[in-house]
Structure 1
Amino acid sequence: MNRGETFDIETGLPESMYREERSPTLLRVVREYLDHVWPDLSPNSRGRLVDGLAVAVQGFLTEEPDFDPAVVRRVLTTFVLPPDGSTVEPTTEGREVAAWLADHSRRVVELADQDGVTEVGRALRTNLDGKRAANSTVDTRKGALVQALGFAVDKAYLGENPFSGLNLVKFRDVQAVDPGVVVNPLQARELLASVSYVRPRCRNRSWRPFFAALYYGGVRPSEARFLAEQHCELPRTGWGALVLPNSLGRSAARYSDDGQTYQVRSLKHRADTATRTVPIPPVLVRLFLDHLDEVGTGPDGRLFWGKDGAPISNASYTDIWRRARLLGLPPRLAGSMLAGRPYDLRHAAVSSWIAAGVPLPDVADRAGHTVDMLTKVYAKFVHGTRSTANRKIEMFLDDDLG
């Protein structure tokens, strides 16, 4: 023993020196880690890991490369880090970048020094354009690196994980919904009506009920994309319901085992087998019934589909919505952030339920949130109901005194 440090039995070196002698580069550790966990990850999880670890590797080099930083990042995420080498054939420049990275990635043991931690931490907090990354982005990147370095500790490449428990974000921000994006009921009806006048490139479906599901049902676009007729309870009169079993998410094809862009996923914030039942008002029930009568379902039974029966793409519904806003909003509002994204229709739905006085646990259940998350994300709308609540309490107290 020396200064309380153990020795490696085979070499006789102190453990710190032994690790330094055999330390691989951060790039090699990251690739080993991804090889190890890749089969058990969903495509989106693979994408998040690759993106976060690419930032760390690019931020921990022996010298600055002469290549464009965006090119280096692209080579890392499409060719160097994915275990299958990606389906993308690298260019000559891509091969040169990959070889350069292999020669200039710093050894992972150097992260035991504070200078190394500071350097990588700075990279995780910074985007390619030099601007500060959002807190959620920093957390995602750091989470990826913590997992990879935990693997390095297990492999005895590092004595401890220098990023475990390290706070890279000085001030926490809550991604609260801005009231400026939320349409009122009249604006929502006008926008949904305007969708009918937008001529989609593919004419085998109706877009209006798709967007109406986001507004009247508060569902996420990926949940609406998964909807099939058997998921809908559509009585001829009164309220109906959507029983949501899954969503149909999208990720880069290079991160999926079968090369497909769309994957069936469990509902957000729910167990794999959990469903969510969302009551829907008569106006949405009628839209769905008319849609089924006039258009029917896609080849796979889904309510909404795209070209050749494929799932509708993000680009398609975003383009339809962009054009619908130009028709349905006056010029001064069309240039604003009001309902700027289809997802803002969901925000409008949830905020309207809150404004209507629906109890927060019920709102959270309909939206697929926890109450805690609901009060954070929709804080400005929850606050707006306090005056109504105060009047109700005051009336109760006055009645009690009387």
Structure 2
Amino acid sequence: MLRDHALLPADRRAELPRNRAAVLRWLETASLPLADLQEAGVLRRGLDAISVTFAGKKAAANTVLRKREVLNHLLELAVEEKVLPSNPLREIKWTPPKSTEAVDPRTVVNPRQAGALLAAVSYVGRSRGPRMMALYACMYYAALRPEEAAGLRRENCQLPDEGWGMLTLEKARPQANKRYTDSGEAHDERGLKHRAERETRPIPIPPVLVAILREHIKRYGVADDGRLFRTAKGRPYTASAISRIWQEARAIGFGPEQAASPLAARPYDLRHAAVSLWLNIGVPATEVAQRAGHSVEVLQRVYAKCVEGQALQANNKITAALDD
């Protein structure tokens, strides 16, 4: 109700049934005035509230930090609109929960496992899996984010008959509620993450992905706007559909123990597997960062636990130095 009505501009609000209108009136009367957030006790109760789940259990650290950031943005807007004299959140001494950005190595598949999963996607449903296999392949072989794959167009692809090809990313299509997008569509075009609005990102792609994309285009064509990936009715794939098909593929491609493990639990883990592979085979961090759309600093922090063999190399170097 809040997302579909109360928090939207008036011209985008859905019609509110009578029973829900009564609930909304109760929410309005039961809610505290915004000015009350200037009281430390009230603000602390708010921070306590975003630190637990609806079931009353401790929320994940990243979830708490994200909600705290949203609260901070709202308070900054209130200051900008002259509703509050200052942001009271800055005056609260609150210790945020410790979070980690590091990728869990248990989620990272090796090339053989990735190949088995991509093959398994082709067996999901009559046409859903086969139409989506190339999308997942882009996440693994080119380390694309799901929204980057969703925005991929034929004009972005150099797919030679032989050898390596090239993807030149320029747009992403993240999913949102269509009432919150300017286009009125569930997917809105945006610039690339961590990039200026018109900046592109070239990604060399191996022959195996070139072949997969050529076959996909031959079999399914492209949308009117050149997009490679869409449903049989021409609609973009939703995040829930991408996740659902992936879970079905894991059940086909993995044994019971692997299917119950964190290994490639999410489609996004294919991207993590790609970056981890590049780092482990010795591709320079600067090149990996460029292809993945990260800074080198973020890359090394996020994937530190996925780089294997460094401890042994370090031990050998120390041994050699001590023997001199």
TM-score normalized with structure 1 length:
0.73
**Aligned equivalents of 1:173, 1:91: Cα separation in 2:** 41
Equivalent position amino acid for 1:137 in 2: T
Q: Pick from 160, 169, 187: which aligns with 2:86?
A: 160
- Could you tell me how far 1:351 is from its partner in structure 2? 0.7
Q: Distance in 2 between matches of 1:175 and 1:397?
A: 34
Counterpart Cα distance in 1 of 2:7 and 2:116: 47
Report if aligned partners of 2:120, 2:249 keep a CA contact under 8 Å in 1: yes
- The letter of the residue matching 2:186 is T
Q: Equivalent residue for 1:82?
A: 8
Given that residues 176 and 186 in structure 2 are in contact (C-alpha distance below 8 angstroms), is that contact kept between their aligned partners in structure 1? Answer: yes
Cα distance change on mapping 1:392 and 1:212 into 2, 3 Å: farther
Match of 2:194 among 248, 252, 269: 269
Higher relative contact order (CA 8 A, sep 6+): 2
Q: Is the alpha carbon distance of 1:160 and 1:369 closer, same or farther for their aligned partners in structure 2, counting shifts above 3 Å?
A: same
Deviation at 1:291, TM superposition (A): 2.1
> What do you get for the CA RMSD once the two structures are aligned?
2.7
Q: Is the 8 A contact 2:138 2:209 kept in 1?
A: yes
Query: Could you tell me which residue of structure 2 aligns to residue 136 of structure 1?
Result: 62
Offset at residue 154 of structure 1 (A): 4.7
Residue 200 of structure 1 and its aligned partner are, at CA, apart by: 4.2
The 3 A distance-change label for structure 1 pair 350 and 160 is same
Number of equivalent positions? 324
Give the Cα–Cα distance (whole angstroms) in 2 for the partners of residues 169 and 201 of structure 1. 50
Is 1:98 equivalent to 2:35 in the alignment?
no
Do structure 1's residue 386 and structure 2's residue 310 form an aligned pair? yes
Amino acid corresponding to residue 198 of structure 1 in structure 2: V
Amino acid at match of 1:337: P
Q: Please, which of 320, 340, 352 is the counterpart of residue 245 of structure 2?
A: 320
Contact 1:244/1:277 (<8 A) preserved: yes
Task: Tell me, in whole angstroms, the C-alpha distance in 2 between the residues paired with 1:142 and 1:231.
Answer: 38
Counterparts of 1:21-40 in structure 2, within 5 Å, are none
Unaligned runs of at least 5 residues, structure 2: none
* Letter matched to residue 267 of structure 1: L
- 1:100 aligns to what SS in structure 2? helix
Structure 1 pair 150–340 and aligned structure 2 pair: CA distance change class (3 A): closer
Q: How does 1:27-66 map to 2 (within 5 A)?
A: none
CA contact (8 A) 2:141 2:206 kept: yes
Other-structure match for 1:127: 53
Give the AA of the match of 2:161: R
Please tell me whether residue 344 in structure 1 is matched to residue 247 in structure 2: no
Give me the TM-score of the superposition, normalised by structure 2: 0.89
1:194-209 matched pairs, under 5 angstroms: 194-202=120-128, 206-209=131-134
Q: Which residue in 2 is equivalent to 1:40?
A: none
- Equivalent residue, structure 2, for 1:287: 212
Q: CA deviation at 1:92?
A: 2.9
The residue number in structure 1 matching 2:182 is: 257
Structure 1, residues 130-179: CA drift from partner, whole Å, max 9, x if none? 22333333333333333333344455543432113645443321132111
- Asked if 1:219 is matched to 2:111, the reply is no
Instruction: Provide the residue aligned with 1:65 in structure 2.
Output: none
1:147 counterpart = 2:73: yes
Segment drifting more, 75-84 vs 208-217: 75-84
Q: Does 1:330 align with 2:255?
A: yes
State the match for 2:39 in structure 1. Answer: 113
Q: Which position in structure 1 is the counterpart of 2:162?
A: 237
- State whether residues 245 and 274 of structure 1, in contact with CA within 8 Å, keep that contact through their aligned partners in structure 2: yes
Deviation at 1:254, TM superposition (A): 2.0
Q: Name the larger-Rg structure.
A: 1
Q: CA deviation at 1:262?
A: 0.8
Q: Which moved more, 1:172-181 or 1:276-285?
A: 172-181
In 2, Cα distance between equivalents of 1:264 and 1:199: 29
Alpha-carbon separation, structure 1, partners of 2:11 and 2:48: 28
Instruction: Select 1:181's aligned residue among 75, 100, 107.
Output: 107
Which segments of 5 or more consecutive residues in structure 1 lack a partner in the other structure? Answer: 1-74
**1:301 corresponding residue in structure 2:** 226
Residue 119 of structure 1, CA deviation: 1.7
What secondary structure is seen at the aligned counterpart in 2 of 1:243? strand
- Where do 1:7-22 residues align within 5 Å? none
